[in-house]
């Protein structure tokens, strides 16, 4: 059995409340010890020792919202290419959305994802299954069978379930199978043809806007249904202060409710759209600065439970178009950690809270192995230089699609090594 010792590292493990200088010992596929007292018995004989002085070791990131083209749009992204990009970003587990062709709405497709990931992926890939057949919002899928086959959550991906009855049933069934319903909320008729945040800036650009209420109204309905059914509900991507207030109230009521946010809505605002830059055409749209600051506060006080990349590869054919015609979405799994570290470097969030919302909390929420460095856990970890500066370039992006919001951005903090089940899958 191979033994690797990472010595003299700053170890940040929110699952155990640890932030200290120490050692991580990996034996085979598991973590044997992690902390300042990890080498009380001395260095194991035959171990490979890696000096991590000045480096930080944290549990591998768990990205709960990743869109992948396979099956059906492999030219945009495959499970293999997404996993390579994830490894480069320090992400050791991804939850794959069901927005594929065909949709992940039956057992065969869940098994296809798991089989393909096992054969080709560098990181752990967990499929989320569709709530409704074909993501059409009408007929529910077989929750029990797909849960048994390995689906870790139920979501209609980019789509919002408009039927309150279907959502009530989904929450009830998911509760009975111990699963989470993760939902993006946007009222289609209220959003209408909107393509960016409704406000003065949209008016200046002459673009139709999406009001904040388009997110809030279906979210309020879902929260009421979560209270009614006692099902586990996850608001997958909130972006407004009003939504955060609604989540706060639901949590105070004792509802089984959690919330996530896309990294873009924490790091950017509507002004970044600039002069019709389609890589900033996102869903939910980039909001005003006051909403972005409210999201940071909600993350700080625990209203928002996790950060996701919302990695959504789009190719030239769907992005190099007039802003209103371009597809929404951006790649993000590769830059997730480095962009999130802005919140640490500018003093908005302590590092332990940042690691919690990027790793420990999503693993706990969706019942996944990982998110911890405790002995016996899978050896999924990442070695980071928190201060190394780097510039995002299109040439350096490993995803098959290059539609990043952060091209040319100067970031501080870089992944040096990513380990999955004891095996190094990325080295800078």
> What confidence score (pLDDT) does residue 40 get?
72
Q: What are the DSSP E strand ranges found in 61-206?
A: 61-66, 91-96, 124-127, 180-183, 196-197
Q: What is the DSSP string of 328-361?
A: P-BB-TTTHHHHHHHHHHTTSS-HHHHHIIIIIH
Which whole number is the average pLDDT over 168-195?
A: 97
Average pLDDT over residues 162-186: 98
Residue 356 banded pLDDT, cuts 50, 70, 90: very high
pTM over 0.95: yes
For the chain, percent of residues with pLDDT exceeding 70: 100
Residue 39 pLDDT class (50, 70, 90 cuts): confident
Domain ranges of the chain: 60-365
Q: What are phi and psi of 103, to 5 degrees?
A: -65, 145
As a 3-state breakdown, the chain gives helix, strand, coil percent values, each rounded to 5, of 35, 25, 40
Tell me: the pLDDT tens digits for 140-162?
A: 999 999 999 999 999 999 999 99
CATH number among 2.40.50.100, 3.20.20.140, 3.40.50.300, 1.10.260.40, domain 60-365: 3.20.20.140
Distance CA 120, CA 79 (A): 7
Instruction: Tell me whether strands 180-183 and 232-235 are parallel, antiparallel or unpaired.
Output: parallel
């Amino acid at each position: 059995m191979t033994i690797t010792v990472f010595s003299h590292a700053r170890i940040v493990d929110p699952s155990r409340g640890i932030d200290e200088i120490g050692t991580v010992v990996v034996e085979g596929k598991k973590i044997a010890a992690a902390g300042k007292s990890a080498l009380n018995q001395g260095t194991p004989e035959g171990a490979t020792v890696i000096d991590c002085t000045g480096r930080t070791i944290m549990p591998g990131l768990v990205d709960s919202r990743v869109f992948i083209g396979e099956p059906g749009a492999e030219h945009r992204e495959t499970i293999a290419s997404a996993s390579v990009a994830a490894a480069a970003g320090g992400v050791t587990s991804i939850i794959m959305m069901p927005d594929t062709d065909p949709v992940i709405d039956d057992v065969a497709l869940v098994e296809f994802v798991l089989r393909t990931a096992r054969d080709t992926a560098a990181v752990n890939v967990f499929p989320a299954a569709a709530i409704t057949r074909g993501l059409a919002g009408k007929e529910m899928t077989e929750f029990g069978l797909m849960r048994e086959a390995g689906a870790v959550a139920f979501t209609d991906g980019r789509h919002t379930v408009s039927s309150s009855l279907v959502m009530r049933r989904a929450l009830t069934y998911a509760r009975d199978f111990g699963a989470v319903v993760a939902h993006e909320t946007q009222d289609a008729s209220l959003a209408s043809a909107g393509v960016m945040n409704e406000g003065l800036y949209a008016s200046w650009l002459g673009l139709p806007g999406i009001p904040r209420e388009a997110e809030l109204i279906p979210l309020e309905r879902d929260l009421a249904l979560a209270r009614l059914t006692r099902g586990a509900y996850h608001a997958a991507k909130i972006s407004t202060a009003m939504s955060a207030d609604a989540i706060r109230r639901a949590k105070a009521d004792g509802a089984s409710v959690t919330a996530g946010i896309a990294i873009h809505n924490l790091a950017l605002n509507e002004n970044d759209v600039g002069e019709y830059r389609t890589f900033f055409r996102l869903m939910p749209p980039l909001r005003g600065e006051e909403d972005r600051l409210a999201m940071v506060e909600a993350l700080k006080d625990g209203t928002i439970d996790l950060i996701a990349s919302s990695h959504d590869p789009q190719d030239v054919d769907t992005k190099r178009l007039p802003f209103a015609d371009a597809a929404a979405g951006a790649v993000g799994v590769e830059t997730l950690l480095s962009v999130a570290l802005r919140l640490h470097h500018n003093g908005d969030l302590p590092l332990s809270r940042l690691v919690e919302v990027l790793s420990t909390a999503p693993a706990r929420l969706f019942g996944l192995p990982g998110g911890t460095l405790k002995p016996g856990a899978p050896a999924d970890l990442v070695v980071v230089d928190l201060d190394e500066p780097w510039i995002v370039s299109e040439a350096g992006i490993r995803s098959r699609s290059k539609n990043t919001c952060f091209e040319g951005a100067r970031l501080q903090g870089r992944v040096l090594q990513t380990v999955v089940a004891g095996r190094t899958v990325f080295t800078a």
